[in-house]
Amino acid sequence: MIQSYFKSTDKKFALLNNDVFSVLPKFDFEFDMVFADPPYFLSNDGLTIKNGKISSVNKGSWDKSQGLDEINSFNRKWLNLVREKMKPNATIWISGTSHNIFSIGQILLELDFKILNIITWEKTNPPPNFSCRYFTHSTEQVIWARKEAKTPHYFNYELMKRLNEGKQMKDVWRLPAIAKWEKSCGKHPTQKPLALLTRIILASTQKGAWVLDPFTGSSTTGIAANLLDRRFLGIDQEASFLDISRARKQEIEDSLIKERIMSKLNLSNFEDQIVSNIRLGKVTELQLEYFANDMPNII
Ligand SMILES: C[S@@+](CC[C@H](N)C(=O)[O-])C[C@H]1O[C@@H](n2cnc3c(N)ncnc32)[C@H](O)[C@@H]1O
């Protein structure tokens, strides 16, 4: 059994305070979907503009680059471990920028993943470029890949189309960067917005699915998963980040706060749509199996 840092009473949200490399091999469980926001290795003592003030780009010692070989070996190691913990039909989403995304893409191909899409997340409110020697950096990439070339994956095509006013959703997503209200439980230096994670989860999982985030930070992935009735396991080596995660989970246990967040994210309608699909009998056998599974071997 693996000792958890936190396990919610509804059993839908668990956190492990460990190094991903030592804890992942101990799991006896396969997940339906993985979202990973690994270190981008961009903390190079450079400067940026944050809230109108000059500030350092450094995020923490975990984000310092030790060179290309180190970046490649870090990415190869965690992707290999995570692949082992994915169901045959599972998919993985990995976010990055030029600092790490080429390494990730190359290693995904080496490990026989099939790349499905490379999403460009265009931030509607990026910080201005400080040096004025480049175009404003306003995008991040999110690679979506499936574990096996020949095993079909789940994609909620219809829902994505509906979210996009009846037109096929493209691989460029215009979404704002993190909003102030999302930091009510404390600050993580690289917290992802809920709008990005809820879209990812709605696109690639069904209700009850198990979602893994091996670099969970403040657990935006877990909060999005639970808001949409999916289950979640997050890993981070820094306890202070897991404290923010726990507080965020406790926050959404208050139904009024949960409702407020859902309406800020414009999610209430889409959630209803999913529920009505289930009422119409569109629940697959696979989905029923999800509900039967319990937590991974974690106490
Ligand atoms: C980019 S942040 C993730 C932020 C997260 N997506 C959020 O919304 O808050 C990456 C996280 O990975 C964690 N981390 C880095 N190396 C790790 C390792 N070897 N094992 C576990 N966690 C690690 C860091 O502590 C950091 O919180």
pLDDT of residue 283: 41
Q: What is the DSSP secondary-structure string of 99-146?
A: TTHHHHHHHHHHTT-EEEEEEEEEESSPPPPSSSSS----EEEEEEEE
pLDDT given at position 282: 46
All residue ranges of the chain with pLDDT < 70 are 43, 47, 269-297
Q: How far apart are CA 157 and CA 187, in angstroms?
A: 34
Measured by CA distance, the residue closest to atom 3 of ligand 1 is 217
User: For position 292, what pLDDT does the model report?
Assistant: 47
- Residue closest to 101 by CA, chosen among 47, 57, 145: 145
Identify the structural domains of the chain with CATH numbers, from first to last: 6-292 (3.40.50.150)
Tracing tokens 């668990």 back to the chain, one arrives at 14
In the prediction, which pLDDT does 86 show? 98
Query: pTM for this one?
Result: 0.90
| pLDDT at residue 290, rounded to an integer | 45
For position 296, what pLDDT does the model report?
A: 65
Site to substitute for ligand 1 among 215, 216, 218, 245, most atoms within 8 A of C-beta: 215
Q: Cβ(224) to ligand 1 under 6 A?
A: no
Give pLDDT, residue 48.
74
pLDDT of residue 46: 73
